[in-house]
Amino acid sequence: MDLKIRDCNLNDLEQLLDLSFYTFYETFGEVTAKESIDTYTKNAFTRENLTKELLDENSNFYFVYFKDKLAGYLKINISTSQTEPMGEEHLEIQRIYLKNEFQGLGLGRLMIEKAFEMAKKYKKRFIWLGVWEFNYNAFNFYSKMGFEKVGRHDFYMGAEKQTDYIMEKDLLKL
C-alpha cells in the first residue's frame, strides 16, 4: 500500500521537529512575514515543547507516509489538552501538515479519517480545528470532509494577529 499512517513517540522527536519546521515554513512562508514565522516556530517547535506534547496522555501525533517517504503529520488533542475549551465531547485536530509534494494524493483524507477513528475510540461526538481565514485550499478541503464553520478566534503568528475560522464536524452526521 502506498499510503501509511503510524503513531509517533519520543524516538521520533528529531524527525517531528524537522518536519514541523519544514511544513510550517512551506505552508505559510510565502504569505506571512518571515520574522513572524521565525518567532512562532522558535517558540512552538522546541525540543522541550514537542517532548512535552509527545508525553501528554491527551495528545497523539501520527506520521503519514507515501511510498515509505515521510510526507506529513497529524496532531490531535482531547480533554484539557485542546487549545480552546471546547468541552469533553470534542476532539481537536491541532496540526495537520503535508509537504507540498505530497498534496493531492489522498493523505489529507487519510489523516482526517484517522482523527474520525480516534474520536470514535475516545467516544467524542465532535471534531474541531482552526484554519487560517486566508488558507482557502485547507478551508475547502475541510468543507468537503464535512466540517462547518462555527466560529472564529485570534491566532498570533509572532506579533502578527491573524484570524482562524473554527470548523467543526458532528460525527453523528457521518
Spans of all domains in the chain: 3-173
Catalytic residue among 97, 142, 156, 165: 142
Active site residue 142: yes
Q: Which overall architecture, per CATH, does domain 3-173 show?
A: 3-Layer(aba) Sandwich (3.40)
CA atoms of 49 and 24, how far apart (whole Å): 16
**Which pLDDT tens digits describe the chain residue by residue (174 residues)?**
688 999 999 999 999 999 999 999 898 888 888 888 888 888 889 999 999 999 999 999 999 999 999 999 999 999 999 999 999 999 999 999 999 999 999 999 999 999 999 999 999 999 999 999 999 999 999 999 999 999 999 988 878 888 999 999 999 986
Residue 149 cell numbers, joined: 464553520
